Structure 1
Amino acid sequence: MTVSARTNTPDRVNPDGSKTITTKRACNGCGQLLGDITNSELAAAIAGSPLPDVRRECPQCGPTAPEPVCIPVTLVAGDMLCLEFECDHDSVEPGSYCTEVREETACATHSTSVAAEHGFDEVTHAEPWPCRAGGEAREPSRA
């Protein structure tokens, strides 16, 4: 069982009386709130993609939760300046990546990432696709 390591940011009342909240993630099984939603979960929700199964993070569902389904994700890899369109390499057209950036497919379920200051998650470990880490594999789909 995986114990939840999610941040759980409390709601706060601002000086003007308005309230600031952080979107929370609920367990797929029982609906218990587990903590803040991750950047990748928010991006998936906005894109209409399925959210990963987080039952193993739940204290109630975790002990009996099955291994989550492996979900492929397309990542861009390369030098940080190239990924942020700040490099001096030739690009195909404005706003597109240079030839030093490549796409890779990884297993989103078994890869790990951290929130980065530019608003996207930065992958710290990419489990290759097709995934061999466990769980049933789902075929890649393009949104």
Structure 2
Amino acid sequence: MKRLFIAISSLCLFAFGCSSPKPFEIKDVCSQAEGTKAVLQGYLSLPKTIDTIQLRKGGAITAVGYQLFLMTKADATGDAVKVTIWTSDKSEPNKIKPLPANYSWNDLLVYTEKGQEVTAGKEIKVTGETVPDEKTKCSVSVTKIEVP
């Protein structure tokens, strides 16, 4: 019985990553190891040009992720970390509404885990995992969006 418990515990820790996300300051999250599960609070900033990530299956694009910046201040100043949020035109939880070609600050709309709509200038709390990024050292791949 003791061996079974140890085996199950090991499987949980190593195969499924049972660790809980931990809160970090935006300025500190990129000093964590790749794969760290993090909780961050801040304000989304729309850069002039948005980098995207596209997932493809059979040659067709199945998902698009926007790479934005989560900032410490609502006026897009202070510390920043790049975050990837996946798009959805169906108001899906933890997603961002696709932006038009000539987007503005007023076009920013994200959906929380509970389905709330959050617009530009509102503070959000995101949960995600740190991943490497060529341009900014690290990025956080967002899996959960909340209102603090």
- Greater strand fraction, Structure 1 or Structure 2: 2
Which structure has the bigger radius of gyration?
A: 1
What TM-score does the superposition give when structure 2 sets the normalisation length?
A: 0.24
Higher relative contact order (CA 8 A, sep 6+): 2
What TM-score does the superposition give when structure 1 sets the normalisation length?
A: 0.24
